């Protein structure tokens, strides 16, 4: 199996731990003032001495909705968290690999993102923050149930681990529905992402664990890693069959040509074209760094574009700016 | 009116004169040997001394069908002439501006092609050849009817003058059907060209005279020139409205991007994309020489590609070669 091709498939790894403080009701039952108290208590526990300079503490009410949506586009917060600022705060590391949502569904949601398939590293970072939290505050925990969370589906480890996978060859072969249903039987989910509404764009899929009860964190993570690797092997094999398909090679070349020439690009079309070019780069058909393409997949998102530009852009202007940014990035690459 | 834009509209001008030798029946009534006699009689009359080195005399049976079709793609002979070699010959100038079909429908069809709108120059060249022919051979001519031709629609001047016009803006505005019917009332025809079957590709239209009886050559040519200029003015005005249409600008940029990146291009798609890029170049949106694009419109034709390559190519290989040729030509331009 072509290891280099394998490693081009995972874009990023996320670990999320849900935690609640024992002495407070869940956020849904808290007033705005009580939420603020919880947020600041957690902030003071986590951001002491050494760490203080590496993180920002952000009250969500201080962000414009565009800024909040941009954070969701980067997967630093949940879309739900972006949708309302009410009593919510965010601890964000300067390198944007660690984001801690305060008073979302639970008091604390520690999230770590790492590039590629990097479950162990992400887990270590999340676990270190969790240990610091537990050392300073009393976390709601039950000997039988494990960590207590607002939603019963998170009870136990309260761990959600996920890997974002680029699966264009399996998608094109029409294999995703069957694969998703097989994965579901193994207690994981595999679903399309970056979609507007229910449309899967960019052939990007998120593989995540579902079971949090009766399984250790390590076992859940190992399980996820093993299944991610199996999917990556299947995708790699499916990609090999595309190498000799001239119609497909033509589509990849054209996608690259359109990205380098279009005057306007919608987010959805741009994502689909980037997906094709990323596949072409992974196959060695095009000479474009994978990293440039992976970054563009986030940078071209609507709110992120507006934040970069420093003002809220109407859709038509955004489409023109998106085309410019993509052109520049590809020409500089 | 923008004269530079105006001049980008006509691709080429053609003058064709049909002539028959008085002492022979029309070609349809001639045996193969008699046709050969006619052909060689005309050849010997036209290709003496000074002119001999500037022309080739080609018996059509010595050409492969691909070579013959390539000549038709270049508009040097009629598709009908290319379809059968039987007793036919061609006098072709080395610069391919003059082609004289021998024993097509009539004994002699003198054709002159000039780039752009150049009716007077083309007429002068055709007329000089006609005078040489008449000085040395007896041409079938009737005081009342004028030049006698096999088909009664050519009786009289036996002159067909035409201009190839690039009318993308009028086409896009849906104005062609009405314009064609107006032109028909003026005794001219305006019809799509380069089509496979009846499909108009490339937004290229041929304007030609229809009336050959009761009108002098000069009047027919002046009439055609005046109407060509009117159509060019309308096209120029229609193009101005496209300058501020971002959706249209986007299509032009993309057409250029696809032409510079595609791995395969069918003739029909390639022609349509070249048409868009040619329009973009004329509008100053793209920096590509018009001449390069005009030449490509012929060079990408199926048989012409095979002749350039020196062998008959299957369609799929031709599409790959076409994409390469276009890419090279645009990058060198």
pLDDT tens digits, one per residue of A50-102: 778 899 999 999 999 999 999 999 999 999 999 999 899 999 999 999 999 99
**Interface A-B: count of C-beta contacts within 8 A:** 55
- The answer on B81 and B158 residing in a single domain is yes
What gap in Å lies between CA A137 and CA A44, rounded to an integer?
Answer: 10
Boundaries of domain holding A105: 3-238
**Shared-domain flag, residues B168 and B32:** yes
Bridge partner residues of B56 (DSSP): B92
Measured between beta carbons, the chain A residues lying within 8 angstroms of B320 are: 246
Please indicate, yes or no, whether residues A169 and A282 belong to a single structural domain of this protein: no
C-alpha distance from residue B81 to each of A69, A279, B72, B301 (Å): 67, 49, 8, 18
Q: Which of A257, A263, A320 sits opposite B261 (nearest CB)?
A: A257
What pLDDT was estimated at residue A146? 93
How many domains, chain A?
2
CB-nearest to B257 from A246, A262, A264 is A262
Mutate to test the interface with B, among A250, A251, A270, A323 (most CBs of B within 10 A): A250
pLDDT at B194 over 60: no
The pLDDT assigned to A193 comes to: 72
> Which of A246, A256, A264 is nearest residue B264 as measured by Cβ atoms?
A246
Q: pLDDT digits over B277-299, tens only? A: 999 999 999 999 999 999 999 99
What is the Cα–Cα distance from B135 to B133, expressed in whole angstroms? 5
Residue range A96-117: mean pLDDT, rounded: 97
* Average confidence score pLDDT of chain B: 93
Answer yes or no: do A261 and B262 touch at CB < 8 A: no
* A160 and A57 fall within a common domain: yes
Residue B4 at interface with chain A, using a CB cutoff of 8 Å: no
Contact across the interface for A262 and B249, Cβ inside 8 Å? no
**Nearest CB to A250: which of B253, B259, B262?**
B262
DSSP-derived pairing of the beta strands A10-19 and A108-115 = antiparallel
The pLDDT of A204-227, averaged and rounded, is 94
**B244 in A contact zone (CB under 8 Å):** no
Q: Do A261 and B249 touch (CB under 8 A)?
A: no
Same domain, B255 and B311: yes
pLDDT band at B201 (very low <50, low <70, confident <90, very high): confident
Pair B234, B250 in one domain: no
Q: Which of A146-160, B151-165, B188-202 has the lowest mean pLDDT?
A: B188-202
Beta-carbon contacts of residue A93 (< 8 Å; ≥ 6 apart):
A54, A55, A99
Same domain, A192 and A266: no
C-alpha dist (Å) from residue B313 to A238, A293, B82, B299: 31, 37, 19, 15
pLDDT at A52: 80
pLDDT tens across B63-122, in order?
999 999 999 999 999 999 999 998 999 999 999 999 999 999 999 999 999 999 999 999
pTM above 0.90, yes or no: no
* Mean pLDDT of the A286-307 span: 95
Query: Token digits for B170?
Result: 């009028």
Per DSSP bridges, beta strands B55-59 and A159-166 are unpaired
Residue B254 has its nearest CB partner, among A249, A261, A320, at A261
Same domain, B229 and B256: no
Q: Which of residues 28-57 of A touch B (CB under 8 A)?
A: none
Same domain flag for A257 and A283: yes
pLDDT band for position B1 (50/70/90)?
A: low
pLDDT tops 60 at residue B57:
yes
Contact B258 A254 (CB under 8 A): yes
Interface of A with B in 289-328 (CB under 8 A): 316, 320, 323
Angle between helices B315-332 and B302-309 (to 10 degrees): 80
Distance from CA of A111 to the nearest CA of B (A): 40
pLDDT at A3: 86
Query: Do the bridges between strand B188-192 and strand B89-93 make them parallel or antiparallel, or are there none, so unpaired?
Result: unpaired
CA distance A292 to chain B (A): 20
**250-269 in A: which are within 8 Å (CB) of B?**
250, 253-254, 256-264
Task: Write down which residue in B210, B238, B266 finishes a domain.
Answer: B238
User: How far does the CA of residue B323 sit from the closest CA of chain A (Å)?
Assistant: 10
Contacts of A258 in chain B (CB under 8 A): 254, 257-258, 261
Alpha helices in B98-175 (DSSP H): 119-136, 168-172
Q: What angle do CA B60, B65, B70 make, to 5 degrees?
A: 90
* Domain harbouring B180, CATH code: 3.30.590.10
Q: Which of A238, A257, A284 is the last residue of a domain?
A: A238
Per-residue model confidence (pLDDT) at position B3: 86
- A285 lies within 8 A of chain B by CB: no
What is the reported pLDDT for B197? 57
Mean pLDDT of A277-305: 95
pLDDT at A194 over 60: no
Place of tokens 């507007």: A196
Name every residue whose Cβ is closer than 8 Å to that of residue B110 and which is 6 or more positions away in sequence: B16, B17, B19, B98, B100, B126, B129, B130, B133
Nearest to B101 by CA among B23, B35, B148, B190: B35
The number of beta carbons lying within 10 Å of the beta carbon of residue B322 is: 24
pLDDT digits (tens, 9 = 90+) for B131-178: 999 999 999 999 999 999 999 989 999 999 999 999 999 999 999 999
* Residue whose C-alpha is closest to residue A20's, from A39, A44, A47, A1: A39
Q: How confident is the model at residue B209, as a pLDDT?
A: 95
The mean per-residue pLDDT over the stretch B224-241 comes to 96
Give chain B positions within 8 Å (CB) of A253: 261-263
Position of tokens 């018996």?
B59
Token duo for residue A178:
């069957």
pLDDT value, residue B263: 97
Q: Which of A76-80, A202-206, B50-54, B223-227 has the lowest mean pLDDT?
A: B50-54
Q: What is the pLDDT of residue A199?
A: 67
pLDDT of res. B128: 96
Contacts made by residues A185-190, CB under 8 angstroms, sequence distance 24+: A186/A223, A186/A227, A187/A211, A187/A223, A188/A223, A188/A224, A188/A227, A190/A165, A190/A231
Q: Which tokens belong to B250? A: 């986007």
Query: What does chain A come to in residues?
Result: 333
Residues on chain A touching B257 (C-beta within 8 angstroms) = 254, 257-262
Contact B261 A264 (CB under 8 A): no
pLDDT for A204 beyond 80: yes
B257/A257 Cβ within 8 A: yes
Residue B199's pLDDT band (boundaries 50, 70, 90)?
low
Residues A153/A159, Cβ–Cβ less than 8 Å: no
The closest CB to that of A262, out of B250, B260, B320, belongs to B250
From B238, B264, B286, the end of a domain falls on B238
In A, which residues are within 8 Å of B331 by CB distance?
none
Phi-psi region of B250 (alpha: psi -120 to 50; beta: other; left: phi over 0): alpha
Residue A320 sits in the same domain as residue A227: no
Secondary structure (3-state) at A115 = strand
Residues B198, B271, single domain; the answer is no
Residues of A in contact with B260 (CB under 8 A): 257, 261
Percentage of chain A beyond pLDDT 70 is: 98
Q: Are residues B40 and B117 in the same domain?
A: yes
Q: What is the CA radius of gyration of chain A?
A: 21
Lowest mean pLDDT among A2-6, A131-135, A157-161, B27-31: A2-6
CB B274 within 8 A of CB B265: no
- Per-residue DSSP letter, A156: B
User: CB–CB of B264 and A250 under 8 A?
Assistant: yes
The alpha-carbon gap from B284 to the nearest alpha carbon of chain A, in Å, equals: 15
Report residue A43's pLDDT band, with 50, 70 and 90 as the boundaries: very high
SS3 content of chain A, % helix, strand, coil (to 5): 50, 20, 30
| Cβ density class B92-130: b for 16+ within 10 Å, e for less | bbeeebbbbbbbbbbbbbbbbbbebbbbebbbebbbebb
């Amino acid at each position: 199996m072509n290891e280099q091709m394998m490693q081009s498939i995972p874009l990023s790894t996320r670990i999320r731990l849900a935690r609640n403080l024992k002495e407070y009701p869940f956020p849904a039952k808290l007033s705005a003032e009580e939420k603020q108290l919880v947020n600041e208590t957690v902030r003071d526990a986590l951001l002491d001495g050494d760490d203080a300079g590496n993180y920002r503490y952000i009250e969500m009410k201080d962000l414009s909705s565009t800024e909040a949506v941009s954070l969701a586009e980067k997967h630093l917060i949940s879309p739900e968290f972006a949708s309302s600022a009410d009593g919510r705060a965010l601890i964000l590391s300067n390198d944007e690999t660690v984001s801690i949502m305060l008073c979302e569904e639970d008091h604390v949601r520690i999230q770590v993102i790492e590039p590629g398939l990097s479950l162990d590293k992400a887990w270590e970072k999340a676990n270190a923050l969790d240990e610091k939290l537990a050392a300073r505050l009393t976390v709601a925990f039950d000997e039988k149930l494990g960590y207590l969370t607002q939603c019963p589906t998170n009870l136990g480890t309260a761990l959600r681990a996920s890997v974002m996978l680029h699966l264009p060859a399996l998608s094109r072969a029409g294999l995703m529905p069957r694969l998703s249903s097989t994965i579901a039987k193994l207690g994981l989910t595999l679903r399309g992402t970056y979609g507007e509404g229910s449309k899967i764009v960019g052939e990007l899929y998120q593989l995540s664990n579902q079971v949090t009860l009766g399984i250790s964190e390590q076992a859940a993570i190992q399980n996820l890693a093993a299944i991610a690797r199996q999917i990556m092997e299947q995708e790699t094999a499916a990609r090999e069959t595309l190498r000799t398909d001239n119609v497909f090679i033509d589509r990849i070349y054209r996608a690259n040509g359109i990205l380098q020439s279009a005057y306007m690009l919608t987010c959805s079309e741009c994502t689909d074209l980037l997906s094709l070019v990323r596949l072409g780069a992974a196959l060695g058909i095009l000479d474009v760094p994978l990293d440039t393409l992976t970054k563009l997949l986030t940078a071209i998102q609507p709110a992120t574009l507006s934040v970069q530009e420093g003002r809220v852009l109407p859709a038509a202007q955004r489409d023109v700016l998106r085309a410019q940014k993509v052109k520049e990035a590809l020409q500089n690459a």
